[in-house]
Homo-oligomer: A and B are copies of this chain.
Amino acid sequence: MSLTVVGSVAFDALETPFGKRDKVLGGAATHFGLSASFFTKVNAVGVVGGDFGDDEWAVFKRHNINTDDIEIVPEGKTFFWSGRYDYDMNSAQTLDTQLNVFETFEPHLSENSKGANLLFLANIQPTLQLGVREQCKNAEFVAMDTMNYWITSTKDDLIETIKSVDCIIINDAEARQLTDEPSIYKAAKKIMDLGLKAVVIKRGEYGATLFTKDGYFATPAYPLESVFDPTGAGDTFAGGFMGYLASQKEITDDTMRRAMIYGSVMASFNVEKFGTERVDELDYPEINQRFKDFKQMTHFDNIPFEKTAAA
């Protein structure tokens, strides 16, 4: 099955306790697309400026990502974000945001992008997300992300957009903020009640949880001693999740569970180097080995305790 992603393509300047980069390829659609490309054919929809160069395009090409719908504004500059992480790598401090060509971004989807079986609406303005969702009438499974900014500024639009999709993939703080519920279990239930098939909550170093109508699934994060650069981890997770689902014949509870693991696998690689560096160089044996590691680190035998009285 094919997969379309709509979202930002960007340059990032990053500072972490482990080093510094002035300009690396970033953006939600980039991280998502790269991650998903290991599992399926990806169409990326976005916008870049004239400063987007051959090296950047080469990353998309290497991974066979269809960039026909990445609009180029030759006189404009690509979206730029600059951030710093301290030793607590769970949250970034934004140093600078220059929306540039992204400020007036209006997604234009070719028939090819519109015809994808799966669609991911990365974090952009909710009404734009809704517009894209409505153009992709035949998409069988649509997922979306969002952020605190939209929850605060355009909550009603956001709720309408959520009602139009099958799945939301957000972090725990966003789930709490969206629902005013301190418990993520109650928060997830409230979001499910908007008519979703699945709610995925990303919990950073604590892993991720999947809520479906009948089920609950939790996976820990991969035990990394050092997180080098967490930028894009959430989108890389979503890319592994949606990419894997697109590679399967059916979207079932079982395939979604494995998709959670492949998402976690891809995110764990993403944070090992700056920007897209690590995922760009990945191969299948590495992916499969880490999938196996997740199985190994969560497996236990299902043996009930049979005693009927404390003896």
Assess whether B305 is in contact with A262, with CB atoms less than 8 Å apart: yes
Chain B residues closer than 8 Å to A260, beta-carbon distance: 300
Complex CA distance for A201 and B122, rounded to whole angstroms: 35
Of B209, B215, B288, B302, which one neighbours A304 at CB under 8 angstroms?
Answer: B288
Q: Does A57 contact B (CB under 8 A)?
A: no
Oligomer: number of copies: 2
User: By the criterion CB–CB under 8 Å, are A218 and B209 in contact?
Assistant: no
Interface status of A149 (Cβ within 8 A of chain B): no
> A305 is contacted by which of B37, B186, B215, B247 (Cβ under 8 Å)?
B247
**Interfacial chain B residues near A261, Cβ < 8 Å:** 300
Cα A206 to Cα B224 with chains together (Å): 17
**B292–A307 CB distance below 8 A:** no
Residues of B within 8 A of A258 (CB): 300-301, 303
- Please give, as numbers and ranges, the residues of chain B lying within 8 Å of A247 by CB-CB distance: 305, 307
Cβ-closest chain B residue relative to A221: B218
User: Is the C-beta of A39 less than 8 angstroms from some C-beta in chain B?
Assistant: yes
Residues in chain B near residue A311, CB distance under 8 A: 41, 64
Alpha-carbon distance between A56 and B47 when the two chains are bound, in angstroms: 70
Give the nearest-CB partner of A223 in chain B.
Answer: B185
A203 at the B interface (CB under 8 A): yes
- Asked if A63 meets B298 with Cβ closer than 8 Å, knowing A185-B223, A262-B305, A303-B258, the reply is no
Contact A207 B183 (CB under 8 A): no
**Which of A247, A262, A296, A303 neighbours the largest number of chain B CB atoms within 10 Å of its CB?**
A303
Q: Are B206 and A244 in contact (CB under 8 A)?
A: no
Q: Are B301 and A185 in contact (CB under 8 A)?
A: no
For the complex, what is the distance from the CA of A300 to the CA of B215, rounded to whole Å?
13
In the bound complex, how far is the Cα of B218 from the Cα of A295, in angstroms?
11
Instruction: Judge if A18 is at the interface, Cβ distance under 8 Å.
Output: no
Residues of B within 8 A of A306 (CB): 284
Residue pair B64, A310 in contact (C-beta under 8 Å): yes
Residues of A153-186 whose CB lies within 8 A of B = 182-183, 185-186
Taking a contact as CB atoms closer than 8 A, the residue among B216, B244, B295 that contacts A223 in the complex is B216
**Which of B225, B284, B297 is the one whose CB lies under 8 Å from A186?**
B225
Q: What are 9 residue pairs bridging A and B, where the CB atoms are less than 8 Å apart in the complex?
A: A185-B224, A206-B206, A218-B298, A220-B220, A254-B300, A257-B301, A258-B300, A288-B304, A298-B298
